[in-house]
């Protein structure tokens, strides 16, 4: 007996709900639409159409994996972020909507503070822990004179950044490096005081909280999540070292976890940054902390 598209969506939603998946109806519709390459309107208009057995077999496998906890984006290999589509896999963290706040602030600062002040050259931006490249690509796409250096410890993440730069038309504006934080630049004097902006969405989940979500604990890369005992290990490493790579007056932009704003702001102040500001995400959580290196500090340029 052949199933119609509408029946498949309904049965898939019921199965996912039975297995504790949040927003089961939305998840079912997303997975079915991805396999059939149909938008929401087309899904509705074609809800009485029969679905072939081969397609049904693929859908059964995906729904089964989703019920076990595997994130939808890893099943489809795609994730929407900042109005663009990104390729994702288990080598990189799935982009979150909250990170769009960080991207918006980097774009705003690049245009307001650096494009006008440095009309003779590109705006040099470093993205530490680039993952699939969502921050690098979104910034490169929206800041005309941006040149982005993207760094990640994972070879798979670096590859995904390159792929996403290519499919989103900014391949010539992004250079991706495999390395640990600043390691690709440490032995080259050229990069001292080189960057106008350094941005990072580092691992910030405390070790004790990693296992709170089954999807996070079992499927997303631990190295992109674990920030040490209190979640602040990477801020402690990035903040003092960034002084050497930021140009005078350059900006440092972080995403932070809930309850970490004050601790990160204190670290920034301790190491001589000023104009320290925090921004809330769509849910009212303090999500972004920004700071500026004073013009006379660092290595100049």
Asked whether the beta carbons of 250 and 195 are under 8 A apart, the reply is yes
77 — pLDDT class (breaks 50, 70, 90):
very high
Q: Which residue would you say has higher pLDDT here, 115 or 233?
A: 233
Pairing assessment for the beta strands 246-255 and 195-200 based on DSSP bridges: parallel
Which carries the bigger pLDDT value, residue 294 or residue 235?
A: 235
Query: What is the predicted pLDDT for the residue at 215?
Result: 60
3-state secondary structure of 40: helix
Residue of 299 and 34 predicted with greater confidence: 34
Residue 195 pLDDT: 94
If phi > 0 it is left, if psi is from -120 to 50 it is alpha, else beta; for residue 259 that is left
110 three-class SS: helix
pLDDT value at 292 more than 80: yes
The predicted structure's pLDDT at residue 236: 93
Cβ-contact 192, 299 below 8 angstroms: yes
283 exposure class (CB count in 10 Å sphere: 0-12, 13-18, 19+)? exposed
Our measurement of the distance from residue 25's CA atom to the centroid of its chain's CA atoms, rounded to an integer in Å, reads: 25
Q: What percent of the chain has pLDDT over 90?
A: 51
According to the model, what pLDDT value does residue 282 have? 86
Q: Using a pLDDT cut of 70, give the percent of the chain over it.
A: 88
Residue 54 has pLDDT above 90, yes or no: no
Residues ≥6 apart with Cβ < 8 Å to 187: none
277 versus 300: which is more confidently predicted?
277
pLDDT score at 208: 63
Range with lowest mean pLDDT among 69-73, 103-107, 111-115, 149-153: 111-115
The pLDDT, as a whole number, for residue 114 is 63
Is the CB of residue 105 less than 8 Å from the CB of residue 290? yes
Residue 143 in tokens: 């800041």
Task: Report which of residues 5 and 298 the model is more confident about.
Answer: 5
Give 40's contacts (C-beta < 8 A, 6+ positions apart).
29, 33
Per-residue pLDDT tens over the stretch 84-107: 999 999 888 889 999 999 999 999
Q: Are 5 and 36 in contact (CB under 8 A)?
A: yes
Lowest mean pLDDT among 59-68, 101-110, 119-128: 119-128
Identify the weakest region by mean pLDDT among 6-10, 21-25, 114-118, 149-153. Answer: 114-118
Residue 146 has what pLDDT? 93
What are the start-end ranges of the E strands in 49-139?
78-81, 84-87, 123-128
Angle at 25 between CA 209 and CA 219, to 5 degrees: 30
For 184-201, write each residue's pLDDT tens digit.
998 777 888 899 999 999
- Map residue 86 onto helix, strand or coil: strand
Residue 31 pLDDT greater than 70, yes or no:
yes
> How confident is the model over 124-163, as pLDDT tens digits?
999 999 999 999 999 999 998 899 999 999 999 999 999 9
pLDDT at 120: 67
Of residues 174, 172, 169, 142, the one with CA closest to residue 158: 174
Judged against a pLDDT cut of 70, whether residue 298 lies above it is answered with no
Q: 200 phi and psi, to 5 degrees?
A: -155, 135
């Amino acid at each position: 007996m052949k199933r119609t598209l509408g029946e498949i969506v309904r049965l898939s939603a019921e199965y996912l709900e039975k297995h504790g998946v949040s927003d089961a109806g939305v998840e079912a519709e997303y997975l079915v639409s991805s396999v059939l390459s149909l938008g929401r309107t087309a899904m509705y208009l074609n809800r009485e159409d029969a679905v072939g057995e081969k397609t049904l077999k693929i859908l059964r496998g995906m729904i089964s994996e989703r019920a076990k906890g595997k994130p939808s984006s890893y099943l489809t290999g795609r994730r929407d972020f900042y109005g663009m589509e990104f390729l994702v896999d288990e080598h990189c963290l799935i982009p979150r909507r909250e990170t769009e706040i960080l991207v918006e602030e980097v774009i705003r600062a690049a245009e307001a503070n650096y494009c006008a002040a440095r009309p003779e050259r590109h705006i040099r931006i470093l993205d530490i822990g680039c993952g699939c490249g969502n921050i690098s690509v979104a910034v490169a796409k929206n800041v005309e004179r941006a040149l982005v250096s993207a760094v990640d410890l994972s070879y798979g993440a670096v590859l995904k950044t390159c792929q996403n730069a290519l499919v989103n038309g900014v391949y010539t504006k992004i250079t991706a490096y495999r390395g640990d934080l600043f390691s690709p630049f440490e032995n080259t004097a050229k990069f001292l005081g080189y960057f106008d902006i350094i941005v990072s969405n580092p691992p910030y989940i405390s070790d004790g909280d990693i296992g709170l979500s089954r999807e996070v604990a079992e499927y997303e890369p631990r190295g992109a999540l674990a920030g040490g005992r209190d979640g602040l290990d990477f801020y402690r490493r990035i903040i003092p070292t960034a002084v050497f790579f930021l140009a005078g007056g350059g900006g440092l932009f972080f995403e932070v976890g809930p309850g970490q704003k004050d601790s990160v702001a204190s670290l920034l102040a301790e190491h001589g940054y000023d104009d320290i500001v925090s921004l809330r995400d769509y849910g009212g959580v303090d999500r972004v902390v920004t700071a500026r290196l004073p013009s006379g500090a660092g290595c100049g340029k």
